[in-house]
Structure 1
Amino acid sequence: MTEPALGARTALELADWRRRVASLYAAVRAEADPRTAHELWRRGRDTLFAEHPQSALRADDPLRSTGLPLWPYDPAYRFELPVLAPPDPDRVLELPSGETGITTLRPVGVVELPDPVGATVTVWWLEQYAGGLFLPLRDGTAGVESYGGGRYLLDTAKGADLGAAPGREGDRLVVDLNFLYHPSCRYDDAWLCPLAPPDNTVPARVEAGERMR
């Protein structure tokens, strides 16, 4: 079964959403102070979710007025990490993303998250959207304080990109878990989202980023 074709209006709205997300993350990367960058990101996401026609929030969702709930910024969750070789670089992972959708992932490498997380997770390459880095995470808060399917940190195909460590392009990624955000399906099950695979599931509680309430 094939997905229905997008109408022109929807396609243009989606393009504008991605353009605005990419612009927001560009501003985040340009800000030298991580805490200020995080506040910029929070305000930008609140504006998009409150006002944009492609917001995942239903029209009557009170989060349009209150903003998306977050843990306070914690610098202990910000890292600049090397991307290490994956154990099985030829591996292909296919994740269901709805009744007719499959998201295909290939491992780019792994990052070793220091304490307070203390786990190794996989950085993936999305085959869709002409490719992009994808780093989801399901942690010990999932199912109660954060969405049960996990949250996303990087989805560069859609503009969610914290960039490389300054001066270390092609070597180290900025992995700041304060920027973990919920996929659209957390707000409305009409949206289709790939969920965090076992490689990206950690027992530690990551009390950073977006939360349920």
Structure 2
Amino acid sequence: MKFNKWFLFLIPIIALLAYFSIPTTKPVEETGADVLKIRKDKDVAFKEGEDSPIKDKASFKGLNYFPFNKDYIVNFVIEKAEKAQSVDIKMTDGTTEKLILFGKIKADIQAFSVTLTLYQRENGDFFLPFKDKSAPKETYGGGRFLDLPLTTVKNNRLRVDFNLAYNPYCAYNEDFACPIPPAENTLPIRIEAGEKLFN
């Protein structure tokens, strides 16, 4: 086979393309200050936003939260489902919403082995509905949610920050319908992080 000198010219270009094609996004590293800003921004959106679920915006003074706690930032091992499939999630109004069943995630929290079902939205981001022992006295009885971008995945682990757990809109306004966490996502422990009941 005759050697082509143009191949030498192409080698560094191919190497550069391969290097820059490697994903460089890193998981979001929330800190107490980051979470506080997210909460303040949400208060503003709930008080001023047109799509806010708050009925009495005039008297709204902000949502209630557990203090930021880094112990509730947990790295779960991902067990991806053998086959991605669309599933129906029950809503509070009796209807259903379609999500992608992504698989299971597992970790130890407070000496308990926890397994949760993980869903995925059409845009690729993950959705984790759950309920814990803090409900219904301190947190919404219908459960809380976490939206997890793809950047929270690294080396087959999903970084879950429960400090960002939030109540669905139906917790503030019965005119809204929201997903009901599946029974298997009911935790046998308290998750003292994230959003609390709204007074």
Q: Which residue of 2 aligns with 1:57?
A: 54
Normalising by structure 2, what TM-score?
0.74
Q: Which residue of 2 aligns with 1:173?
A: 158
Matched residue of 2:46: which SS? Answer: helix
Q: 2:42 aligned with 1:40, yes or no?
A: no
| Aligned-partner residue type, residue 82 of structure 1 | V
Separation of aligned partners in 2, 1:132 and 1:75 = 23
| Aligned-partner residue type, residue 211 of structure 1 | K
Q: Which residue of 2 aligns with 1:78?
A: 73
| Aligned-partner residue type, residue 58 of structure 1 | K
| Aligned-partner residue type, residue 114 of structure 1 | D
| Aligned-partner residue type, residue 152 of structure 2 | A
Q: Which residue of 1 aligns with 2:129?
A: 136
Instruction: Tell whether the 8 Å contact from 2:117 to 2:184 is kept in structure 1 after alignment.
Output: yes
**Of the candidates 37, 48, 68, which is equivalent to residue 63 of structure 2?**
68
Q: Which residue of 2 aligns with 1:112?
A: 106
Given the superposition, is the C-alpha separation of residues 147 and 100 from structure 1 closer, same or farther in structure 2, using an over 3 Å criterion?
Answer: closer
Matched residue of 1:42: which SS? Answer: helix
**Of the candidates 157, 171, 175, which is equivalent to residue 190 of structure 1?**
175
Separation of aligned partners in 2, 1:178 and 1:37 = 11
Paired residues, number: 171
Given the superposition, is the C-alpha separation of residues 162 and 142 from structure 1 closer, same or farther in structure 2, using an over 3 Å criterion?
Answer: farther
Shift of 1:96: 2.8
Separation of aligned partners in 2, 1:176 and 1:187 = 23
**Of the candidates 137, 143, 148, which is equivalent to residue 150 of structure 1?**
143
Shift of 1:205: 0.8
| Aligned-partner residue type, residue 34 of structure 2 | A
Separation of aligned partners in 2, 1:53 and 1:196 = 27
Given the superposition, is the C-alpha separation of residues 103 and 33 from structure 1 closer, same or farther in structure 2, using an over 3 Å criterion?
Answer: closer
What do you get for the CA RMSD once the two structures are aligned?
2.6
Shift of 1:81: 2.7
Separation of aligned partners in 2, 1:61 and 1:143 = 27
Instruction: Tell whether the 8 Å contact from 2:78 to 2:157 is kept in structure 1 after alignment.
Output: yes
Query: Percent same amino acid among aligned pairs?
Result: 27
Given the superposition, is the C-alpha separation of residues 171 and 61 from structure 1 closer, same or farther in structure 2, using an over 3 Å criterion?
Answer: farther
Instruction: Tell whether the 8 Å contact from 1:77 to 1:208 is kept in structure 2 after alignment.
Output: yes
Instruction: Tell whether the 8 Å contact from 2:139 to 2:196 is kept in structure 1 after alignment.
Output: yes
Given the superposition, is the C-alpha separation of residues 40 and 118 from structure 1 closer, same or farther in structure 2, using an over 3 Å criterion?
Answer: farther
Separation of aligned partners in 2, 1:211 and 1:114 = 23
| Aligned-partner residue type, residue 196 of structure 1 | P
Matched residue of 1:37: which SS? Answer: helix
| Aligned-partner residue type, residue 72 of structure 2 | Y
Given the superposition, is the C-alpha separation of residues 193 and 61 from structure 1 closer, same or farther in structure 2, using an over 3 Å criterion?
Answer: farther
Ranges in structure 1 where 5+ consecutive residues have no aligned partner: 1-27
Q: Which has the larger radius of gyration?
A: 2
Q: 2:189 aligned with 1:210, yes or no?
A: no
Instruction: Tell whether the 8 Å contact from 2:126 to 2:150 is kept in structure 1 after alignment.
Output: no
Separation of aligned partners in 2, 1:194 and 1:77 = 23
Instruction: Tell whether the 8 Å contact from 1:113 to 1:121 is kept in structure 2 after alignment.
Output: no
Question: Comparing both structures, which one devotes a greater share of its residues to helix?
Answer: 1
